[in-house]
Amino acid sequence: MANQSTGGDKRVDRRTVLQAGTALAATGLLHGTRAGAQQRQQEALIIDSQVHAYAANTPERPWHNVPNWPAHVTGDEMVAAMDKVGVAGAIYISPISMYQYDASYAVSVQRAHPDRFALVKPVNPDDPAVADIIVEWKKTPGTVGIRIIMTKEAKRAPDDPGINRICRAAVQHDFPVNVLFWGNLDAGISLIDRHPDTRFIVDHMGILQPSVPPAPPQPWADLPKVLDSPNARMR
């Protein structure tokens, strides 16, 4: 499954599809009729829009927090799981709960499986050098975006100076900004509206997904608010 036939002698490898799929998802170009026709001409590949791989919690690579997740889902284990269900590639988001702003494990996994993963890294609004970090991240092979957290627990306003720096740098370096603002929808939408030139990817469709029951009583109620933003896409 390393390559998929597109008719005749033309073949598309996983990395090409992964990169193209990410770019199209970020820009919304898949809505175009020509792109849709071209996509239908080739055998469909499944791209997972978000995965988290991580090593076990050890002194050599300690976790920042310990969520109620499996003890480890290494890069190799993630690839095996993807193969089992026919997933060709994935957008690998470095898990902030475990590694905070250190994406070194994600980079190592992508180097081991460059045709399976594209990378998104959380960036720190409180770091005055965050724009320089984004520059370096752009130079890292396999990177396709950055991520910020705007939940109520993060206690950040839409006009947060650090987030403003991140959004400006994202535009300059052609990165979409993945943003998590579940449970804080109005602040998230305000952020999106303040930065019309920034492309935003709304994490988890903006829907609060608690790790333990109960689920929110009306999880879809506010979804249309996010869908109205022309510079935002869902995943």
Domain ranges of the chain: 123-235
Residue 233 bridge partners (DSSP): 201
- Site of tokens 């994600």: 106
Classify 123-235 by CATH class: alpha beta
CB atoms within 10 A of CB 225: 13
The answer to whether residue 32 scores a pLDDT higher than 60 is no
State the Cα–Cα distance between residues 133 and 86, nearest whole angstrom. Answer: 34
Mean pLDDT, the chain, integer: 85
Q: What is the DSSP-derived secondary structure letter of residue 54?
A: B
Beta bridge partners of 231: none
Beta strands in 26-84 (DSSP E): 47-51
Q: What is the pLDDT of residues 63-103, one digit of tens each?
A: 999 988 999 999 999 999 999 999 999 999 999 999 999 99
Query: 């992508």: which residue's tokens?
Result: 110
- Rounded CA-CA distance 96/33 in Å is 37
What's residue 55's pLDDT? 98
Site of tokens 């992964």 = 18
Distance, CA of 160 to CA of 210 (rounded, Å): 26
